[in-house]
Amino acid sequence: MPELTDVEGFRKVLASCARGRRIDQVEVYETGVLHGVSARRLRSELEGRTFREPERHGKWLLARTDGPTVLLHFGMTGGLLCCDPRDERAPHDRITFTLGRDRQLRYRDQRKLKGLWLADDAAVARTLEAQGPDAAAVGRDEFDAALARRRGTVKSGLTDQSVLAGIGNLLADEILWRARLHPARQARDLTEGERRRLHTDMRRVLRSSMKADCVPPRRSWLTGHRDDADPTCPRCGTGLHRDRVAGRGTVWCPNCQPPPS
């Protein structure tokens, strides 16, 4: 699931569930999601600490404490839940943080593609250095500059986390459809007007998606049609095309999004 919008939802879960609360107990059920830290050290570094205001950059969630920061990445199937410690554990609950008598934060992940890192401020900075500006915060000029110097397709530019942080496969298709740009257009070939439109529509898509904590599968959106057996464009009724662009399954409207010439 997790793109910027989903991770922003997890940030809200973390803030409302855990901010200001003391970590009484850390339980590791699957060490495969730990990176560069043992279960023993994770426990000893975090138990007794208090969660502070969490932050997000792109698809990274920064769980700040009064000690080290827990960096979380959710891969394709990860999530963060606020539970009661007495709730039955789900098969894919990998790490739990018990916060007092009636709260437990759970990192749940089926595929274990990513996971948790324990980081001091310098390590946090190193991780974020590799990331482009956050897609939900980037201004038009910076967005413009990043795309104008980018070679390759506009879709690969949007989804490259070192160019722009937070856009995944679903969001990229939705944004390009909204801006009426074919995903295989060369980023450098976009006119200034097209880049401006792309920035505006990206902000629109992100704002609506962040309200829903996901890319909403509404029937008025591309995402609401992409899994149909015979999908059509909600704007013009034309049959949608599907192919591989930038290495990912990509859906677009051949009428609204004219191919590169």
Q: What residues numbered 30-59 form the site for DNA, per CB under 7 A?
A: 32, 58-59
Among 57, 64, 114, 178, binds DNA (CB under 7 A): 114
Q: Is 152 in the site for DNA (CB under 7 A)?
A: yes
112 in active site: no
CB of 146 to DNA, least distance (A): 10
When the beta carbons of 60 and 97 are compared against DNA, the nearer one is: 60
DSSP 140: H
Q: Is 234 in the site for DNA (CB under 7 A)?
A: no
CA-to-CA distance for 168 and 214, rounded, in angstroms?
Answer: 11
259 in active site: no
Q: What residues numbered 61-80 form the site for DNA, per CB under 7 A?
A: 73, 75-76
Q: Kindly state the helix (H) or strand (E) to which residue 52 belongs, with its residue range.
A: none
68 in active site: no
CA-to-CA distance for 83 and 95, rounded, in angstroms?
Answer: 12
CB of 166 to DNA, least distance (A): 8
Q: Kindly state the helix (H) or strand (E) to which residue 210 belongs, with its residue range.
A: helix 192-212
Q: Is 257 in the site for DNA (CB under 7 A)?
A: no
Q: How many residues bind DNA (CB under 7 A)?
A: 35
78-100 CB burial, b ≥16 within 10 A, e <16: bbbbebebeeeeeebbbbbbbbe
H-state helical runs in 19-139: 39-46, 121-129
**Contact yes or no for 75/88 (Cβ under 8 A):** no
The tokens for 247 are 């290495």
When the beta carbons of 241 and 248 are compared against DNA, the nearer one is: 248
* Contact footprint for DNA (CB under 7 A): 1-3, 6, 32, 58-59, 73, 75-76, 91, 110-114, 130, 150-153, 156, 159, 161, 168-170, 214-215, 244-249
